């Protein structure tokens, strides 16, 4: 019988993941982190203590059986590990890459009290990638029910909700306004963090569950939410359209050519493949010196994309200090390694005109940190007389988004004072049978939070339709067994 593992007996250091060298990867769109080999995965799986209180499971917004899947990796049963993972999370290859594990499962890992925590995200990705390579898909036998569920938006919230409703036997259709499904996973997150093939594979898995995707469909305008219920015969609707509507800085020079939102830069580059112009028809502004305003994950993506598009210099301009930067530490670190120049405590005051309607520079002031503001972060205050200029031909705003107005314009849905869709605790909207979740309810957040919202809405929809839900049967307890706020998930603004 195997001896009980302790922090003394397990491999002491976290198994590093092979990565492309910073100088090399900063010029290509291949994935930065290359993934674990089976040997790496076995070594890392051995670091899990299988502790009885399983804090990691409570730290996961969707409650993945983490010790369970790691145990199966250690037993060299990868198919079993995949089955365990996909019981709760249909998108392991995505989540393994883009979840902020340091604030979730890994942040509360018992091993992490003494050593570096178990690399749960890397192991999850290893299993997810193995499944894609092997063509595994878990298609449980589902007893069809007579309900039709319409899902608006094919991003992480919509995909998670679709998966759960399909598993409950419903006939599920997902509507997407773009010509390809995936939402922010497709247009926003660059290939070097989440390759398109991974998204394709996860979407194909949903297809095997019977989920139908209808692209080129702008719900609200082609048909309304009310029409989905009244005319198109949907018994329930889930809205997960994301926040959209990027904020601009409202400083002089905002509308100059060479000033654009991170959403535009990323959409052109990722979804429209502008990086392969002219093979693809969509162009992208070529910046020699690029200033990205903001320090969230989207800002980091915009900077690293700019480097790969051939920029000589990329600056990060952020009015607070590194401590307050909303991006994942790992993303800041990657950007630094690749040569992004960080200018903390720096606030833009004007984009400078080259005389022909294009940006030639960014005028900034130095900031200092004052008293904490409403967000609990210290309020940045301008230092008088500290103006200085950056020479730049491309300015990218990554300072957050506001609510997209289309749903409000086209339906009777109740909105909150900031224009987001108002829901109750069960994610039900003001219209019967219509539920909403993700960024269009909370404002900009993370992929895993959106997936969490999609799953929460799925449970509410099942209750609404009177379907049995094994996960909630017999208890009206908190849906995930965790309080999201406790785990630092309250941040919604990145500015």
Partner 1 sequence: MSDFEIVRREDFSDVTYLLEVRHPMMARAARPGQFVIVMLHEHGERIPLTIADYDRERGTITLVIQTVGKTTREMQQACRVGSRLYGLVGPMGVPTALGHAKKVVCVGGGLGVAPIFPQALGHKEAGAYVVAVLGFRTQKLVFWEDKFRRVCDELILCTNDGSAGMRGLITDGVQEALARHDDIDEVVAIGPPVMMKACAEVTRPRAIKTTVSVNPIMVDGTGMCGGCRIKVGDQVKFACVDGPDFDGHRVDFDDLMTRLARYKSEERAAEERFSASCRMANDSALQVLAGIAAGSAPKSDGADPLDPFEQTLGG
Which residues of this protein are in contact with partner 1, per CB under 8 A? Answer: 177-179, 187, 214-218, 221-223, 242, 244-246, 248, 250, 254-258, 260-261, 263-264, 267-268, 272-273, 277-283, 285, 357-358, 404-406, 409
Q: How far is CA 339 from the centre of its chain?
A: 24
Would you say 114 or 216 has its CB closer to partner 1? 216
- Give least dist CB 443 to partner 1, A: 15
Would you say 280 or 388 has its CB closer to partner 1? 280
- Give least dist CB 33 to partner 1, A: 28
Instruction: Collapse the DSSP code of 38 into the 3-class scheme (helix H, G, I; strand E, B; otherwise coil) and give the result.
Output: helix
Cα(489)–Cα(107) distance, integer angstroms:
13
| Contact status, residue 139 vs residue 117, Cβ threshold 8 Å | no
Cα(461)–Cα(423) distance, integer angstroms:
13
Which candidate, 228, 35, 219, places its Cα nearest to that of 129? 35
Residue partners of 257: CB distance under 8 A and separation at least 6: 285, 357, 358, 359
Helices (H), 191-328: 196-208, 225-230, 262-266, 297-308
Would you say 272 or 291 has its CB closer to partner 1? 272
Residue partners of 330: CB distance under 8 A and separation at least 6: 102
Cα(281)–Cα(264) distance, integer angstroms:
15
Would you say 49 or 406 has its CB closer to partner 1? 406
Would you say 177 or 413 has its CB closer to partner 1? 177
Would you say 103 or 358 has its CB closer to partner 1? 358
Encoded tokens for 490: 């309250």
- Give least dist CB 283 to partner 1, A: 4
Q: How far is CA 50 from the centre of its chain?
A: 28
The DSSP code sequence of 241-263 is: -----B-----TTTTSBTEEEHH
- Give least dist CB 92 to partner 1, A: 27
Partners of 358 in beta bridges: 257
Would you say 54 or 393 has its CB closer to partner 1? 393
Would you say 302 or 479 has its CB closer to partner 1? 302
Residue partners of 402: CB distance under 8 A and separation at least 6: 243, 245, 246, 247, 418, 419
| Contact status, residue 347 vs residue 379, Cβ threshold 8 Å | no
Would you say 117 or 258 has its CB closer to partner 1? 258
- Give least dist CB 62 to partner 1, A: 26
- Give least dist CB 167 to partner 1, A: 25
- Give least dist CB 433 to partner 1, A: 21
- Give least dist CB 65 to partner 1, A: 36
- Give least dist CB 266 to partner 1, A: 9
Which candidate, 446, 469, 447, 449, places its Cα nearest to that of 458? 469
Cα(249)–Cα(256) distance, integer angstroms:
12
Would you say 32 or 495 has its CB closer to partner 1? 495
Place of tokens 């654009």: 260
- Give least dist CB 289 to partner 1, A: 17
| Contact status, residue 276 vs residue 191, Cβ threshold 8 Å | no
| Contact status, residue 282 vs residue 272, Cβ threshold 8 Å | yes
């Amino acid at each position: 019988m195997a001896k009980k593992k302790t922090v003394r007996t397990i491999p002491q250091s976290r198994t590093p993941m092979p990565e492309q060298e910073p100088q090399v990867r900063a010029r290509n769109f291949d994935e930065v982190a290359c993934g674990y080999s089976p040997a790496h995965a076995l070594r890392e799986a051995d670091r899990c203590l299988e502790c009885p209180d399983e804090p990691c499971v409570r730290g996961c917004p969707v409650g993945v059986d983490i010790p369970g899947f790691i145990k199966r990796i250690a037993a060299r049963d990868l198919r079993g590990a995949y089955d365990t993972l996909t019981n709760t999370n249909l998108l392991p290859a995505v989540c393994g890459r883009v979840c902020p594990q340091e604030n979730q499962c890994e942040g509360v890992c018992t091993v992490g009290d003494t050593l570096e925590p178990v690399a749960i995200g890397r192991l999850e990705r290893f299993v997810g990638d193995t499944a894609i390579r092997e063509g595994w898909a878990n298609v449980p036998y589902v007893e069809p029910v007579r309900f039709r569920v319409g899902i608006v938006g094919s991003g992480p919230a919509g995909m998670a909700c679709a998966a759960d409703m399909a598993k409950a036997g419903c006939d599920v259709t997902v509507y997407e306004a773009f010509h390809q499904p995936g939402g922010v996973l497709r247009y926003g997150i660059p290939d070097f963090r989440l390759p398109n093939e991974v998204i394709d594979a996860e979407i194909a898995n949903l297809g095997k569950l019977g989920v139908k995707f209808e692209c080129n469909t702008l719900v609200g305008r082609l048909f309304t939410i009310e029409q989905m219920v009244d005319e198109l015969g949907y018994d329930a609707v889930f809205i997960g359209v994301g926040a959209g509507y990027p904020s601009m800085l409202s400083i002089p020079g905002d509308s100059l050519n060479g000033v654009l939102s991170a959403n535009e830069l990323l959409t052109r580059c990722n979804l429209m493949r502008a990086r392969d112009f002219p093979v693809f028809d969509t162009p992208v502004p070529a910046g020699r010196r690029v200033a990205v305003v903001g320090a969230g994950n989207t800002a980091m993506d915009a900077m690293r994309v700019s480097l790969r598009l051939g920029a000589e210099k990329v600056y990060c301009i952020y009015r607070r200090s590194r401590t307050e930067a909303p991006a994942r530490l790992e993303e800041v670190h990657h950007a630094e390694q690749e040569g992004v120049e960080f200018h903390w405590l720096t606030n833009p005051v004007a984009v400078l005109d080259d005389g022909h309607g294009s940006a030639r520079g960014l005028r900034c002031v130095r900031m200092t940190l004052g008293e904490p503001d409403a967000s609990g972060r210290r309020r940045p205050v301008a230092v008088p007389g500290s103006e200085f200029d950056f020479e730049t031909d491309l300015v990218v705003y990554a300072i957050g988004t506001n609510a997209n107005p289309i749903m409000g314009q086209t339906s009777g849905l109740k909105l909150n004072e900031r224009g987001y869709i108002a829901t109750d605790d069960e994610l039900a909207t003001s219209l019967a049978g219509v539920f909403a979740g993700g960024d269009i309810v909370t404002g900009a957040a993370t992929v895993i939070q959106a997936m969490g919202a999609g799953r929460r809405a799925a449970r509410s929809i099942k209750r609404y339709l009177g379907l049995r839900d094994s996960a909630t049967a017999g208890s009206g307890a908190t849906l995930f067994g965790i309080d999201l706020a406790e785990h630092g998930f309250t941040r919604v603004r990145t500015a």
